[in-house]
Structures are given as C-alpha cells and as structure tokens.
Homo-oligomer: A and B are copies of this chain.
Amino acid sequence: MDATRSLVLTRSYGSVGIAGICERAGVRRGSLYHFFPGKEDLVIATLEVLYTEFEAEVLQPALRGPAGLRGRITAFVNAVHAFQTRMQAAEGRLPGCPFGSLAVETGTQSPRLREAMQGHLDAIRAQFRAALDAAVAHGELDARTDTARLADHWLALMEGILLMARAEQDADTILRLAPALQDLLLGAPAPERRANEHR
C-alpha cells in the first residue's frame, strides 16, 4: 500500500500498473491478489489510509490548534504546502490533491472509486465547516454566515489551488494562491486597500 500510494499520487490511476506497484514493494503479483481482489480495491484501501492520516496530521492540528480562523487557515495552508513539498522532494513529483485528482480521473469510469473519493472530499468539507462554525461561535464570522456554503467554497478553491500547483509542479503556487483563500473566507479587503496587500 505504501508503494501504491507513492505511485498513484505522483503519477495517476491509469498510468500505474500492478506490476510497477509490486516491483516497488518487492512483492510478487500473486501475493497481492491474495489480499486485494483487484487494483480498484487496492487503491481505494490505500486512499482510505491516506485520508485518515491527512485528517490526523493536517486537518485536525491545523484547524483546531491555532486560535482564530485566520491563523487556522494559515496553518492549514502551511501544512498542505509542507506535505506537497515533502512529497516532491521524496518522489520528484508534486501530487496535488489525490482525492480530487482521482475523483476527476476515475469519475467517468470507476463509480466505486469515485464514490470513495467523494466521501473523502465530503469529510474534508465537514472539517472546514466545523472550523467555520467555531469562528462563528467566537464572533469572528457573523452569526448568520452560511457555514456549509462557505465550506463548500473553501473546498472548491482549495482544489483549484492544488490543481494549479500540480499543473505547474511547483509548491510555491500554493503560497501564491493562498491569499485568495483568506479573501474568500474572511471577506475580501475593501477595494481601496486591495492592491498588493498580500505582498
């Protein structure tokens, strides 16, 4: 599963073969099929583990650690940036958001895989919403804020940022686009103060 993770994240579902996974893992193909019924299940299981780790190591610490929504967003962005940088250093490729990428690639081919990825995206969105609800409770956001809607926007923008980062194969893209997240979630600055504010 570690081999599967490395390969699927840095390449893509379709372009990763069972043979490559097994070679990397130092395992014979037959052994693999003793534990997993097929490629699809292997990948689903692998990303299940990845999500669990992502929630425990990125989502929870960043979104509950610092006080204040602004600090939490920053912590979240930095944690994502660190993870992407680490992966790029280790594997030579910047993965972007695996759940989003897989959902896009297999969305029109493998319903089970797509549903699994959608489930993870939903879970991330729920974490975002919890952070927004906490901000509402602390008076950082107006009480009438539609946190579900805002969390939805947050996830969409985050996916877009990671898509751009993967397309450019550059982790700094995340930092470059992160201000958009602050603008979207905390309200854009008044037009008068907008120019170059984030530099």
Contact = CB atoms under 8 A, between A and B. Distances in A.
Interface of A: 10-15, 93, 96, 100-101, 103-105, 107-109, 114, 117-118, 121, 141-142, 144-146, 149, 152-153, 155-161, 163-164, 166-169, 176-177, 179-180, 183-184, 187-192, 194-196, 198
Nearest to A159: B160
B157 A157 contact: yes
B153 A164 contact: no
Contacts of A156: 157, 160-161, 163-164, 177, 180
Nearest to A102: B167
A166 B107 contact: yes
B160 A108 contact: no
Nearest to A164: B156
A95 B196 CA distance: 35
B194 A145 contact: yes
Count of this chain's copies in the oligomeric assembly: 2
A109 B12 contact: yes
Closest 4 CB pairs of A and B: A160-B160, A144-B195, A14-B14, A142-B191
A77 to B, nearest CB: 13
A81 to B, nearest CB: 15
Contact of A188 (B146, B152, B188): B188
A118 B167 contact: yes
A15 B105 CA distance: 9
B141 A191 contact: yes
Contact of A183 (B105, B153, B177): B153
A172 to B, nearest CB: 13
Nearest to A13: B14
A146 B180 CA distance: 12
Given A104-B167, A187-B190, A188-B187, A180 B157 contact: yes
A119 B117 CA distance: 29
